[in-house]
Amino acid sequence: ILNCAAYTAVDAQEKDVDLSYRINAIGARNLAIAAQETGSKLLHVSTDYVFSGDGVRPYIEFDAPAPVSVYGKTKLAGEEFVKQFCQRSFILRTAWLYGEGKNFVKTMLALSQTHQELSVVNDQVGSPTSAEELANAIFSLLDTENYGLFHATCEGDCSWAEFASEIFRLAGKDTVVHPITSQEYQQQNPQSAKRPAYSILDNYMLRLTGGYQFADWHDAIRTYMEGLKG
């Protein structure tokens, strides 16, 4: 059983707390119980938002979570339910994900059609991760009995502004990126949920157990952009 479902409207959840817990926590609990009853493996996708973002080094799986948003709190509750109710479970925390659906890459490319200059946050850092790389890690784990908690992001890190600049470079765009602070962005585009300033996850458990080796984020975004062109 693969649980990729989640309520991810981070700001809306600050007011819609009950719905967030129903989907992100109770939903995970229900799947964990069903997996346990049927003897199935359960792989549950979680998030970097379980951490406060106050870190000074990449978070490993043994660091204590400290979510600062409703989204982060409900996703952490979902993790706890999975561990509590399903013995054959994998929990994968990922971050800054992009793939087929709506994502930062497509948003930047769309904005570049109508803007020569864009202001992008430069004091939030993380590891852009392609859905293809995450899928590779998922299917690699499912073939094992290495149950437990894993961080699962592409290697390397950058700020949102640096990520945007790389997207435009690969796309052959001359859009100028102006780095701004989160506070400046908040003044222009008010957000109710706090974002982690430091979202870098260390895939420590995957390394310890000889698991999937993620691509560097530069290589992954280049592959993704080539796919968009093709």
Q: Which residues are catalytic?
A: 71
Amino acid at 1: I
DSSP strand pairing (2-3 vs 129-130): unpaired
Alpha carbons 123 and 186: distance in angstroms, whole number: 12
Stated as kind and residue range, the H or E segment containing 71 is: helix 70-85
β-pair partners for 2? 43
CB 201 within 8 A of CB 151: yes
Describe the strand order of the beta sheet including 42-47 as a list of residue ranges: 2-3, 42-47, 89-94, 148-151
d(CA 129, CA 221): 8
17, 18, 44, 73, 207 from 14: Cα distances, Å: 6, 10, 23, 11, 35
Non-local (6+) Cβ contacts of 82 within 8 A are 28, 29, 31, 32, 42, 44, 89, 91
